Amino acid sequence: MKRKIGTVMETDVLIEAKERAAREGRALADIIQDAMINYLHEEVARGDALRACDKFCSHGSALDRHEIDDLLQEDMLAS
């Protein structure tokens, strides 16, 4: 069930969200909902990645946990 909400956000963020919604032919509400879902689930995925990193590092890696975490944070597809 969906509920109507009201919120305040930075104008430039709203403009970017509206532009993306228009480009994708989607409703602004869907863009915002997707962003919220991704934000809420990010912590779980990050926890999984950190546990995998700990397991990997326990086998004697040349990289320490912080170096691997830095690599995981990089956007390899960014130009």
The pLDDT, as a whole number, for residue 65 is 74
Residue 2 covered by a domain: no
Residue 6 covered by a domain: no
Is 58:50 a contact under the CB 8 Å cutoff? no
Q: How many domains does the chain have?
A: 1
Q: What whole-number distance in Å separates Cα of residue 66 and Cα of residue 53?
A: 9
The pLDDT tens digits of the residues spanning 18-61 come to 999 999 999 999 999 999 888 887 766 677 777 777 777 776 66
Instruction: Quote the pTM value.
Output: 0.54
- Residue 76 in tokens: 């390899």
Task: Give residue 24's domain range.
Answer: 11-73
